[in-house]
Amino acid sequence: MIKRIFNIMMATAGLAVLSPLLLWIALRIKREDGGPVFYRGERVGLHGKLFRIYKFRSMIVNAENIGAASTSKHDARVTKVGEFIRKYKLDEFSQLINVFLGDMSIVGPRPEVQKFVDQYTDEEKIILTVKPGITDFASIKFHNEGEIIEKSGIANADEAYTELIRPEKLRLQMKYVEEQNMFLDVKLILQTIKRVLTK
């Protein structure tokens, strides 16, 4: 209950303070190709329940139907505006809407697509016992996920993600579930802000 109140307060404050920036991003996306402002992909949430995630659209319309679920740094599907907002993680700010609606938390394991969740072992399913979040240990460590995939030399982005990122990401997500508390959440939020600003 305390965490939910904290999430509502943070999401409300964040949306209010960032509203000029969010409006600017929305206008830039709309002006580039006239497509929808948001990408609302399906993700797996608490207890395996599916929900639609709000992300500022950084790729061409219907990108998920013409390529891998994972994305390399120079993925041809990424738009010009998308390249900028992905570099500074601005596409993630709209997920404050999901936090406000109760689908996500500020801090928690990043939500995955169904095909990767289907691969969870019984041990890894502990990740689904908490709400997914905007940031956590894995988000901070793999802030340059696209670059890692790009430099891997592996043609298929999903294969690169599965081999180079997913195992450690799952370990860190389980670590968060086991150690979670409000002090840790605040620490991770501050580390995320520092990472974004230094970027």
Percent of the residues in the chain that have a pLDDT greater than 90, as a whole number: 74
Q: How confident is the model at residue 157 (pLDDT cuts 50, 70, 90)?
A: confident
Does 73 have pLDDT greater than 70?
Answer: no
| Residue 102 or 1, more confident | 102
Element (H, E) at 166: helix 166-179
Does 106 have pLDDT greater than 90?
Answer: yes
pLDDT (average), residues 123-136:
97
The predicted pLDDT at position 65 comes to 77
pLDDT (average), residues 52-80:
84
Residue with tokens 């395996």: 48
The predicted pLDDT at position 107 comes to 98
pLDDT (average), residues 148-168:
89
| Residue 52 or 87, more confident | 52
pLDDT (average), residues 7-30:
96
Q: Are 177 and 127 in contact (CB under 8 A)?
A: yes
Does 45 have pLDDT greater than 70?
Answer: yes
The predicted pLDDT at position 129 comes to 98
Percent of the residues in the chain that have a pLDDT greater than 70, as a whole number: 98
For the chain, the average pLDDT equals 92
| Residue 150 or 9, more confident | 9
Give the pairing of strands 55-56 and 105-107.
unpaired
Least confident of 5-19, 44-58, 83-97: 83-97
pLDDT (average), residues 134-163:
89
The predicted pLDDT at position 21 comes to 95
| Chain centroid to CA 71 | 12
Q: Are 136 and 176 in contact (CB under 8 A)?
A: yes
What is the rounded distance in angstroms from the CA atom of residue 77 to the CA atom of residue 151? 18
